[in-house]
A and B are shown apart, each in its own frame.
Chain A
Amino acid sequence: MDKMPRWADILLVPLISLILAAAISALVILAIGENPWNALKIMVTGALGSTYAWGYTLYYATNFIFTGLAVALANHARLFNIGAEGQAAIGGLGVALVALYLPWPHWTLALLGATAAAALFGAAWAAIPAFLQAKRGSHIVITTIMFNFIAAALLNYLLVGPLKPSGTMETATAPFPPSTHLPSFQDMFSTADTPLFRGTPANVTFFVAVLLCVLVWLLIWKTRLGYEIRAFGFSEGAARYAGIGATKIIMVTMLISGGLAGLMAINNTMGEAERLILNAVEGAGFIGIAVALMGRSHPLGVFLAAILFGFLYQGGAELSLWTSIPREMVVVIQALVIMFTGALDNMVRMPLERLFARRTRSTPLAPPGPTLHPPGRMAPPSTPAAE
């Protein structure tokens, strides 16, 4: 028995949470002596008001879709993958090696090769924590976060030493050859008269991300493996009893999750920077946790939440460009959104559920009769319609 209609669960709760976050942000902006209405206008225009703005918003969103999907998939098996940050960084290493040291005749082939390398490297980085969890019971939260630091140290070593072209100060690899450059939205959508998405980093990878949303949805809800992952997540004991191998599920889920996180590198490393930069991931792996939470681990939710965070990133940049609102304040606004949509979810949900419960009680839709209820749970009181 659902306490709320589905549309309220999916749309109303996040919307009210967002409005609450926005209201408190407005108070904070007011407190530092700026005009909140003006700030909102700058954020909205700067992040959604032109193809230029969308070019950045979608670029950030693409990063967050990859890491959000990675965290969301692991969530279905009740594995908390905090290591998307490191997996994406190592994915970048895979992309860099493939782009720099293999000759690619055309970007489409380079994209395929880089995709494979990014997924493989990301998966490999998730494999060790997964193995330790499956075989030794080392908690995945601890091991994945540790592996973030190992990834950072490894990349630091490589980008200060072996992979850095000599004579430069920048901690980055050499630029990738032109044949590996992915077409940006500017290349894809501009016509001779009307340049669109000018100078923005959004690129063809966005469509890869959208495709992956669909594939992950299919995997979770339409395949036997997805069923096993969800069953394992709901109850490990029951899943084992049904003959689902814990080791296999933990390994496979984490490998796919790591691969998804690693794929982020084709957006930021191959699509945008066109070279591997130290700290290229810049916290997107952690934002992925918020995105997955907010998107309730559903690919569509992840997609929408990623767009929202893309909006916050790009809008926040515009805010600090054109006002004296400091960048720390932008972080405060992002934190408020995460807090209200993730951590304080029940604050909005429970009063709403009560509200809807009262309404449905006064107008029962189902005819009286035996209905199926999960064992141990009370049947709702079937009060007569008279009121």
Chain B
Amino acid sequence: MTNLSTFLGATALLALGAGAAIADPAVIFDLGGKFDKSFNESAFTGAQRWAEETGGTYAEFELTAEPQREQAIRRFAEQGYNPIIMVGFMSATPLGEIAPDYPDTKFVIVDAVVEQPNVRSVVFNEHEGSYLVGLLAGLASESGTVGFVGGMDIPLIRKFGCGYAQGVKAANADATVIANFTGTTPAAWNDPARGAELALAQIGQGADVVYAAAGATGVGVLQTAADQDIKSIGVDSNQNYLHPGEVLTSMIKRVDNAVYDAMTAGEAVETGVQVMGVANEGVGFALDEFNQDLITPEMKTAVDEAAAQIASGALQVHDYTADESCPALTF
């Protein structure tokens, strides 16, 4: 192997052929990878939409290790990419340290707030969207018991679960919400079999609507719910089409719009905190031809009313991450 090192060292002197066009945007996907059927994929969809509409090109990187967060941000910044978009809250601390080193580059972070003059922080009110689908679940449930399947037990997913439980309780104060998490390693985001088991267990406890906020694990939850003939709720993207007539609705989080908007604005992207809630259609519930028969006019009226109240500020949904407690659910 000493021979190998010498050989490699000699080759290392050769110039690197990869260059970059000036001021293309760059996207850094989080550890789940861009095809996670959920959060990262939504960002990828937004980036692709921008590329198709404008004919532009963008650089991308899928993280595989923690130290690469800083590495990818620095490499893209030094190559002149602008703006640099990263999705995922774990990049907040590295970005906060690095952003001042590249004052002429604009950064966009999704799902976290970084207080720097050249950073746009896009955060979503997932609790509001989850409240709306929780309300629908509470109204649709006949047994008075509904389920929640989270991915990894992290504050963000508790925020989903807490909003959901509040919505359920708003529809039926006596309802029971069963909350389970898939696992304690990142494998929890991609474990449909375990998702199916948890859904079955919840059905066994009487749940007749289950909400999956678990990335690709949710595919197994939705499948089991369809097989067992109960209702399910999708997450992040509109997943109603997966099992037409069986998926009650989906909690939509428009990460794609956040990425698309940032790319469209380009280097002129406005910095500061941008909150995407029910009011500006950053989150919401999905209603289309696949679930229109499941949502009765009464349910539609109730959920539209709640959405209007949330948008106007008349109805405040409690955010778990604000004080790390939930009035409607204990984790």
Contacts and interface: CB of A to CB of B under 8 A. Distances in A.
Interface of A: 11, 14-15, 18, 38, 40-42, 44-46, 48-49, 53, 56, 59-60, 149, 152-153, 155-157, 160, 164, 166-172, 175, 199, 201, 268, 272-273, 275, 277-280, 282, 304-305, 307-308, 311, 313, 316-317, 320-323, 326-327, 330
Contacts of A171: 90, 154-155
Contact of A44 (B11, B71, B74, B185): B11
B33 A327 contact: yes
Contacts of B12: 44-45, 48-49, 53
B102 to A, nearest CB: 11
Contacts of A326: 62
Contact of B14 (A45, A160, A322): A45
A98 to B, nearest CB: 20
Contacts of A153: 184
B127 to A, nearest CB: 13
A169 B90 CA distance: 8
B18 A322 contact: yes
B3 interface: yes
A169 B14 contact: no
A188 to B, nearest CB: 18
A245 B65 CA distance: 42
Contacts of A40: 11
A368 B242 CA distance: 79
B154 A160 contact: yes
A322 B18 CA distance: 6
A322 B12 CA distance: 16
Given A171-B155, A199-B74, A44 B8 contact: yes
Interface in B137-160: 152-156, 158
**Nearest 7 Cβ contacts at the A-B interface:** A322-B18, A49-B12, A156-B184, A169-B89, A153-B184, A152-B184, A45-B16
Contact of A59 (B61, B67, B153, B322): B67
A48 B16 CA distance: 12
**Max chain A Cβ within 10 angstroms of own Cβ: one of B64, B72, B324:** B64
19 contacts: A40-B11, A41-B14, A41-B16, A42-B16, A48-B8, A48-B12, A160-B153, A166-B323, A167-B322, A169-B92, A169-B111, A171-B90, A201-B70, A272-B66, A317-B71, A320-B62, A326-B62, A327-B62, A327-B64
Interface string B201-241: 00000000000000000000000000000000000000000
A40 B8 CA distance: 10
Contacts of A164: 155
A166 B33 CA distance: 28
Interface in B44-71: 59, 61-62, 64-68, 70-71
B313 interface: no
Given A152-B184, A322-B18, A49 B13 contact: yes
A156 B53 CA distance: 42
A204 to B, nearest CB: 16
Interface of B: 1-5, 8-9, 11-18, 33, 59, 61-62, 64-68, 70-72, 74-75, 89-90, 92-93, 111-112, 152-156, 158, 184-186, 321-324
Contacts of B156: 169
Given A152-B184, A153-B184, A308-B1, A282 B65 contact: yes
Contacts, number: 130
Contacts of A327: 33, 62, 64
A277 B68 CA distance: 14
A56 to B, nearest CB: 7
A149 B66 CA distance: 20
Contacts of B93: 170, 172, 175, 275
Contact of A199 (B68, B70, B152): B70
Given A317-B71, A327-B33, A152 B16 contact: no
A184 B292 CA distance: 59
Nearest to B73: A199
Contacts of A304: 1-2
B270 to A, nearest CB: 22
Contacts of A49: 12-13, 16
Contacts of B324: 166
A280 B66 contact: yes
A41 B8 contact: no
Contacts of B112: 169-170
Contacts of B184: 149, 152-153, 155-157
B185 A11 contact: no
Given A38-B17, A168-B92, 8 more contacts: A15-B3, A40-B11, A149-B184, A169-B155, A170-B92, A282-B65, A282-B66, A327-B62
Nearest to B158: A160
B313 to A, nearest CB: 22
A76 to B, nearest CB: 21
A259 B33 CA distance: 33
Contacts of A11: 1-3
A272 B67 contact: yes
Nearest to A10: B1
B9 A48 contact: yes
Nearest to A319: B18
Contacts of B186: 279
Given A156-B153, A170-B90, A199-B74, A321 B61 contact: yes
